[in-house]
Structure 1
């Protein structure tokens, strides 16, 4: 699989992803492009969930790219073992699963159906740089391709 976008730029002292054998773990990815956060703020109860679609997709794409950048020639991602979608949501927000579906949809578009093992959609009080979303994932690699 080819790289989709440029490697995410860490915002601290860490790597975008780390690999152990056939498992790749990402750091938390926010909706940044070339290191610049493109979406800000808390997700409000009154916001149409679609208004956060692109932020969630960009953060997910950054995580997927971090995984892809750890692949060796001829390897491919066979499964996202764990997808975590952290949402900077105001108290009372309950559409976590609907928001996380935007992350799942992007992965399905790129990796095919049944590419996601388990998923968590988690509301939090804040995220780095006031990002509305942060994505982490753990991926399994087919090393026998």
Structure 2
């Protein structure tokens, strides 16, 4: 099944690829690898802000990470001229979680993105990963995730 058909089957609509917030490009291709800049947690209502371990729950963090995954896929689709089915493999994710020093569930938060990518892409969504704490993130968002993808 194509990635696009799987999204439809799951009832998921990708957002438009977010525009960069500063002086960088959303993605850079080198050979068959696509390096996608960090995508911050945002949904249809706007930025998803908060600090895990203080004013945001684990469940909110997981939901925030899922929105990052959708934005990553939107960037891949845009970089592949609108054809998400050119995505062959999620290679690596690096997730940053806005959290207090005593919060230790960063991997559980970033699982929101990892689990969604595997649900959508199957084996092509399995990837290596880092999940790290950040004392703060741009605009106060809960999560930011960058990714490396193999594309046709």
The alpha-carbon distance between structure 1 residues 27 and 123, as it changes in their structure 2 partners (threshold 3 A), is same
Q: Is the Cα contact below 8 Å between 1:8 and 1:33 reproduced in 2?
A: no
| Alignment match, 2:50 | 41
1:47: how far off? Answer: 5.1
**Structure 2, unaligned stretches of length 5 or more?**
5-12
Write the distance in 2 (CA, Å) between the matches of 1:43 and 1:10.
25
What number of residue pairs does the alignment pair up? 141
Q: Which residue of 38, 41, 65 maps to 1:31?
A: 41
Q: Is the Cα contact below 8 Å between 1:22 and 1:140 reproduced in 2?
A: yes
Question: SS of the residue aligned with 1:112?
Answer: helix
Alignment RMSD, CA only? 2.3
Write the distance in 1 (CA, Å) between the matches of 2:62 and 2:85.
29
Equivalent runs, 1:9-24 vs 2, <5 Å: 9-24=19-34
**Structure 1, unaligned stretches of length 5 or more?**
none
Q: Is the Cα contact below 8 Å between 1:45 and 1:92 reproduced in 2?
A: no
The alpha-carbon distance between structure 1 residues 12 and 113, as it changes in their structure 2 partners (threshold 3 A), is same
Query: Structure 1 length as normaliser, TM-score?
Result: 0.85
Q: Greater helix share, 1 or 2?
A: 2
| Alignment match, 1:101 | 111
